[in-house]
Amino acid sequence: MWAREPKSADGVRPSIKESTRWIEGYERVAEQAAALPATRLVYVLAPM
C-alpha cells in the first residue's frame, strides 16, 4: 500500500510514476495468483 507524495515547489512529485506503481502491484497479484490457483484475487485501483 502506498500514498502519493506531496508535490514540490515546482509542482512535480519526486517519486516513481503512478503507472509504474500500478504495474508493480499487478505483478505482485499475478505472482500470488500463480501460488494460489484455487483462490480468486481482486486488484483494486481506487481513485484519489
Query: Which residue, among 15, 31, 21, has the nearest Cα to 1 in the 3D structure?
Result: 21
Is residue 30 in some structural domain? yes
Contacts of 38 (CB under 8 A, 6+ apart): none
The model's pTM is: 0.64
Question: Residue 28: its pLDDT value, please?
Answer: 92
Is residue 25 in some structural domain? yes
Question: For 1-46, what is each residue's pLDDT tens digit?
Answer: 667 788 888 888 878 888 888 888 899 999 999 999 999 999 887 7
Question: Residue 27: its pLDDT value, please?
Answer: 93
Question: Residue 48: its pLDDT value, please?
Answer: 61
Is residue 32 in some structural domain? yes
24 in Cβ contact with 1 (< 8 Å): no
Please state the domain count of the chain: 1
Is residue 10 in some structural domain? no
Is residue 36 in some structural domain? yes
27 in Cβ contact with 34 (< 8 Å): no
Is residue 6 in some structural domain? no
Find the domain containing 30 and state its range.
17-41
Question: Residue 14: its pLDDT value, please?
Answer: 78
Is residue 47 in some structural domain? no
